[in-house]
Structure 1
Amino acid sequence: MTKRTPMDIQDSWRVFRIMAEFVEGFETMAKVGKAVSIFGSARTPPDHPEYKAAEQTARMLAEAGFAIITGGGPGIMEAANKGAFEAGGQSIGLNITLPQEQEANRYQTITLDFHYFYARKVMFVKYASAFVCFPGGYGTLDEFVEVLTLVQTLKIEAFPIVLYGSYYWRGLIDWFRSQLVPRFIDPEDVCIFRLVDTPQDVVRLVKMGVKRHWWHPVDAALVKVAGNGESRRRNPLCAGFKAGNTGEGTRYGRRPQRSQKDHVPPGKKPQQ
């Protein structure tokens, strides 16, 4: 029998810490109603226009009945928590333990501390009715791209994903269109999110998307996929995209299909 090393034992105990973070997160967040997760840079100062825009956005969303979920830190996170807090809404901070010891901002009605990024990210997605991304660094991009992947691969139902600040996001979107389409993603995959420049437009899209489910495939227009007669849902927010075959697992793509040669009729044994 192979002797267990101290690292093996440490990994085994780590499982309990991971479970504890999920259990505490689920039990706490289950009490929250409809919510919007807001992301952005921790380095944005309070006198910056983006800070003020995030604060105004969160205030308006809170007044509309949405709880606000952030990473719990400074910058855009603090601005969003502040807007919700001062509006009398639920203001939730999912703080992460970092070497530089990020401290939770003071504008929170609920605070959860996480050691593991992936447990924290589950809470951002599972309990959100919409995502709003302000300009930010790697962490903001990480959250944005992960939720795009989850929607594209049908792991979660589509919901409003709103980017604030065309001056910041336009270059990335242009790169998506020029480098990812059509080789790596389908044209409609660039329509999973919307780009706006005012807090009013953020709130309008979130409220419209949550109320009318415009981001959900079941409420979009049916489009015939050329060549095979199958139907799929077209995102009405993606004007002008041409219907065509999509890859397996894309947002409006087909579920993986068994090839005809692998199909075995009932009552017959597969060929060896």
Structure 2
Amino acid sequence: MMTVRRRIKNIAFFGFAEFPKSSHNYQAAFGAAQLLAKSGYTIVNGGGPGIMDAATQGAESVGGETLAITFTPKDAPNFEGRYLANRVDKEIKTSNYIDRMFKLLEHADCFIIFKGGSGTISELGTAWVMAKLYYPHHKPFILYGEHWHKIIAALKTTMKLRPVELKVFKIIDEEKELIPALIEFEKEMSEFDHSHCRICKDKAFMT
């Protein structure tokens, strides 16, 4: 008989770096991080402004644990870099954008993806393909916001998505759907035997 345990412990937030604190998306990320931190999850982000800062501030407001994976560029004027007001409990510094992205994927067990630009698209695409490749020993993700319904519908009709690629994520519109989505992920993953799985134990898919 399989032992069921909580596999999702660290949750990374991805999204637009330029949302002001007064915006709906910033407030949604703040509330989501606050709720998750209260529930014992560690909040992970890229150490920048916007959605990343909202994730940290939401978690810190209730005494939650926070981790930032950062990169301070010298020759990338269109990258937001480190936001000093985003003060986390622990920071891991990286030397380039790609290393930062893969460290974010490595140090999280699940991802919440808000509205964003090309950087968010790159994070979504990488998380998605890794989830497909290693399903059912994958890291699932949540698409947060009503706009994702149209985006995914368009991808279904214009791209070539395999059935397994549609199993690794959930779309939610409101904060109240967040914990139930995570519980459902845990239930789905518990149906598979992970007891001798290097991918799950050692994060081998990142090596």
TM-score, normalisation: structure 2: 0.79
Q: How has the CA–CA distance of structure 1 residues 176 and 114 changed in structure 2, closer, same or farther, with 3 Å as cutoff?
A: same
- Residue 206 of structure 1: SS of its match in structure 2? helix
Output one character per residue of 1:16-72: Cα deviation in whole Å (capped at 9) or x when no partner.
xxxxxxxxxxxxxxxxx9210111100111000111110010011111111000011
Q: Equivalent residue for 1:173?
A: 152
Q: Which amino acid aligns with 1:122?
A: F
Is 1:102 aligned with 2:93? no
Write out aligned runs for 1:143-222 (5 A): 143-154=123-134, 157-166=137-146, 168-180=147-159, 184-210=160-186, 212=187, 214-215=188-189, 218=192
**Displacement of 1:160:** 2.9
* Cα shift at 1:134: 0.6
The structure whose RCO (Cα within 8 Å, separation 6+) is larger is 2
Counterpart residue number, 1:112: 92
User: What is aligned with 2:58?
Assistant: 83
**Residue number in structure 2 paired with 1:74:** 49
TM-superposed CA distance for 1:217, in Å, is: 6.5
Counterparts of residues 13-162 of structure 1 (less than 5 Å): 34-98=9-73, 99-100=76-77, 102-104=81-83, 105-154=85-134, 157-162=137-142
> Are 2:141 and 2:168, in contact at CA under 8 Å, matched by a contact in 1?
yes
- For these two proteins, the number of residue pairs brought into alignment is 181
1:162 counterpart SS class:
strand
User: AA paired with 1:163?
Assistant: L
Matched to 1:205, the amino acid is A
Deviation at 1:215, TM superposition (A): 4.4
1:157 and 1:216 in contact (8 A); partners too: no
Partner SS for 1:65: coil
| In 2, Cα distance between equivalents of 1:117 and 1:216 | 34
Render the CA deviation track for 1:62-101: whole Å, top value 9, x for unaligned: 1111100001100010000101111111111112223346
In structure 2, C-alpha distance between the alignment counterparts of 1:114 and 1:156, rounded to whole Å: 29
**Greater Cα radius of gyration, structure 1 or 2:** 1
| Residue ranges of structure 1 left out of the alignment (5+ in a row) | 1-32, 220-272
On the 8 A contact 1:159/1:209 being kept in 2, the answer is: no
Amino acid at match of 2:31: Q
Gaps of 5+ in 2: 1-7, 194-207
Give the drift of 1:192: 1.9
TM-score for the superposition, normalised by structure 1: 0.61
Q: Quick check: 2:136–2:189 contact (8 Å CA) kept in 1? A: no
Counterpart Cα distance in 1 of 2:119 and 2:135: 21
Tell me, in whole angstroms, the C-alpha distance in 2 between the residues paired with 1:208 and 1:187: 18
Does the C-alpha gap of structure 1 residues 129 and 206 become closer, same or farther in structure 2, counting only changes over 3 Å?
Answer: same
* CA displacement at 1:117 relative to structure 2: 2.2
Q: Which amino acid aligns with 1:89?
A: G
Q: State, as a whole percentage, how many aligned pairs show the same letter.
A: 26
Could you tell me how far apart the structure 1 residues matched to 2:123 and 2:181 are?
Answer: 19
Write the letter of the residue equivalent to 1:82.
Q
1:216–1:118 distance in 2 versus 1, CA, 3 Å: farther
> Residues of 1 paired with 2:37 and 2:167: CA distance?
26
